[in-house]
A = this chain, B = another copy of it.
Amino acid sequence: MTEIKIKERIEEANRKTLDRMLSAETAWVGIKPAIEAIPGMNRNVILHAGPPIEWERMCQVQKRGVIGGILHERLAATEEDAWRLAERGEIEVMPALDLNTVGAGVGIVTASMVVNICQDGKTGQKGYCAPLEGRVGLSGWGVYNETVEKRLQVLEKVFAPALDYVLTECGGIDTKSIIARGTQMNDESHTRQVAEGLILVSEIVPPLIQAGLDRETLITCLDIIIKTERFFHSMGMASAMSILHGIQGLEYSTIVTAMAGNGVELGIKVSATGDEWFTTTAPHLEGMYLSTKWSQKDAIPWLGDSCVMETMGLGGLAAAAAPVVIQLRGGTFQDAIQQTEEMRAICLGENHNFPIPSLEFKGPPIGIDIKKILETGVTPVSHGGIISKEGGQIGAGSARFPMECFQKAFYTFAEKYQLL
């Protein structure tokens, strides 16, 4: 094939990919046990954040999450047995993203754990993400104890059945509209989703009240929705995932479909190269710690799938929408604007669905393109939480995804289409 022809094919594929991202119509449509919701999930599988990793190399906090998952599933009776099972490889431990599930933080999802289900009404594709758990929990922070088990039971036995019923009754909650309004109210949808959480409350309360649940269930559900910090984040991530699910494996498309870390390695996927991961050493986040007693030596390198938000053109790419996020790390309003403007260099388009007031209502960039990354030398900035070696969030900041993974991806892309 001539070089011109290849160039045209890539452009056409990228246009199609971008169109799909922009015209997606995402909604929160359900919340069910992972085993029922996620195709490919089974009783012996435990999902984790980031690219694949052998048990021996997995970071301690994620290992502990897997052990917690084994215990929660009663696949082992004691913690000792659980470690033995894991070490022997008798549990299938795999990347959540490989099943279109977003593993925020350590990203543990087991068969009985419930996941929010979001769907892109345009492609019909779905994305899944466990509900956020607040400051302590299994899925995000890898912490497992009696309190966490109790909360998981409430989510599985009370919250999910009630909300799944309500979502079915009301036909789902439009998350694209929530994110659009949030972007106008200083949310960048990764480390800040304050307005989005508030909108969610206002949208879910009426059908929740109408559903005729008993008073105790109603109070439990509202308590979880209103009082869990950043509760909408899970729906934001599942929505982004549902869109990215719809752009996987498009021939010639150079658009990034996944970016994630497991605390040891960072990995990305690209549309045309399908399920293949391209990895590099995970960097540390630069940012602000929640207490002066913590510093980088307490933190693990990038861990989590939440940069699914950046992959969909939000978070670090939409920094201009949420200057307060940058300010909390010592940056200025102008820094926030600059960050978004810089990211345009590596993106294929502008997301007009989410106009940002301080950009004179221009949208943030969307569609991270490995070709543009290689051409410009600019790498994507992702916002994220800083996770302690002991488990739990100890700060928030940002990091650049290193050039190496994009180079690897491009090499494989070039090989596939015989460009070398």
Contact = CB atoms under 8 A, between A and B. Distances in A.
A206 B222 contact: yes
A199 B196 CA distance: 11
A91 interface: no
A94 interface: no
Contact of A323 (B218, B332, B357): B357
B358 A358 contact: yes
A226 B198 contact: no
B218 A209 contact: yes
Nearest to A334: B360
9 contacts: A186-B357, A198-B199, A198-B201, A198-B202, A202-B202, A202-B226, A324-B357, A333-B360, A357-B358
A206 B223 contact: yes
Contacts of A296: none
A70 interface: no
Closest 4 CB pairs of A and B: A198-B198, A185-B185, A323-B357, A333-B360
**Copies of this polypeptide in the complex:** 2
B186 A184 contact: yes
Nearest to A196: B198
A214 to B, nearest CB: 11
A194 to B, nearest CB: 7
A219 interface: yes
Contacts of A205: 201, 205, 222, 226
A147 interface: no
Contacts of A206: 222-223, 226-227
Interface string A356-383: 0111110000000000000000000000
A195 interface: yes
A338 interface: no
A23 interface: no
A332 B357 CA distance: 9
Contacts of A181: 194
Interface string A315-354: 0000000111001000011100000000000000000000
A209 B185 contact: no
A105 B238 CA distance: 44
A198 B199 CA distance: 6
Interface of A: 181, 184-186, 194-195, 198-199, 201-202, 205-206, 209-210, 215, 218-219, 222-223, 226-227, 322-324, 327, 332-334, 357-361
Contacts of A218: 209
Contacts of A226: 202, 205-206
A181, A205, A206, A361 pick with most chain B CB within 10 angstroms: A205
Nearest to A324: B357
Given A198-B199, A206-B227, 9 more contacts: A184-B324, A185-B186, A186-B186, A195-B198, A202-B202, A205-B205, A206-B223, A324-B357, A333-B359
A206 B181 CA distance: 24
Contacts of A359: 333
A150 to B, nearest CB: 21
A166 to B, nearest CB: 14
Contacts of A184: 186, 324
A183 to B, nearest CB: 10
Contacts of A219: 209-210
A334 B209 CA distance: 43
Nearest to A182: B185
Nearest to A358: B358
A50 to B, nearest CB: 32
